[in-house]
Amino acid sequence: MLEDSYRTFLNEARGLPNFKIGTKNECDDIQSLANGYCEAEKASNRELMGRYLSALFVRYWYMIPYLYQESKSLRLEKEEMVDILYEAFMKAFKNKKWLDSADKLSKDSHGAQKCIERCIDSVRLTMYQQANYDVRKINYITHSLDMVQEVYGDSSEEFLVEDEHQDVIDINYLIFKALKNYNVLQAIVIDSICYQDCLLKNGSISFSRIVSNLDMQYIKYFIQTYGVNNINMDELIKILQLPKKKLVYNIKKELLNLSSDEVIKSLYALRCSESK
């Protein structure tokens, strides 16, 4: 089945001028293929769009075994890895970050490649988050952070609902951004608000509940979900060793920092579990 799909993509890709497989310039080729797709899309040339998309499938086909190996706990078939690539391509072409002069990827000669590969990671991680939703059977609502400026007691001000259809991929991006900046606590806070049971009945966030949820089961989930290589384990251990009052205080500070983040505000990216 996979072999048939690959042959189909390869035959389509060969309709492009000068396309060859296994060249030394495949990284540069990805940039030109992505740009070619965008130009074909702008010209509404669906046939050419299909050829560029097929060529990108050929270029990224080597990732099929890797994605399958890394996603075994999801119990997916190898054929479904093609769907991950497709969703990632579509997300990348929707945003076109490497073509945005305001984005730093526009100055990177491999900007399209980096954008696509980030989207691949995001799509796969979203599938993990969706699996967690099904297991936990939690309902989700999207909230804005605009009302977090005042934090008091055991809970923050109630968030205002802005958009019930916010893409969960944006949440994963924020978490990995925090981990990349070595801010493990911020990543935990975002994950707790978005995916864990940390709401009081009035819709406010319970800091004590976030702290009490930091048990070994949660730590195992956090490491498995976001990857041991992405997490500063020393920082994580320090967080777990903090006295409860100090940890609550630090969580309050992180929420205030998040509330002033313009990127987060513009994405409306945090989701809270709806407490019943």
The number of helix segments (H) and strand segments (E) in the chain equals: 13, 4
Q: Is 199 strand, coil or helix?
A: strand
Say what the pLDDT of residue 167 is: 45
Say what the pLDDT of residue 3 is: 83
* Rounded CA separation 35/30 (Å): 8
Judge whether 33 and 14 are in contact, CB under 8 Å.
no
pLDDT digits (tens, 9 = 90+) for 120-129: 888 877 776 6
pLDDT digits (tens, 9 = 90+) for 264-273: 544 433 433 3
Say what the pLDDT of residue 55 is: 92
Say what the pLDDT of residue 23 is: 63
Give the chain's largest Cα–Cα span. Answer: 65
Six-digit token string for 156: 């923050």
Whole-number percent of the chain with pLDDT over 90: 17
Phi-psi region of 227 (alpha: psi -120 to 50; beta: other; left: phi over 0): left
Specify which of 2-11, 50-59, 173-182, 242-251 reaches the highest per-range mean pLDDT. Answer: 50-59
pLDDT digits (tens, 9 = 90+) for 196-244: 777 665 556 677 888 888 888 888 888 888 888 888 888 898 898 888 8
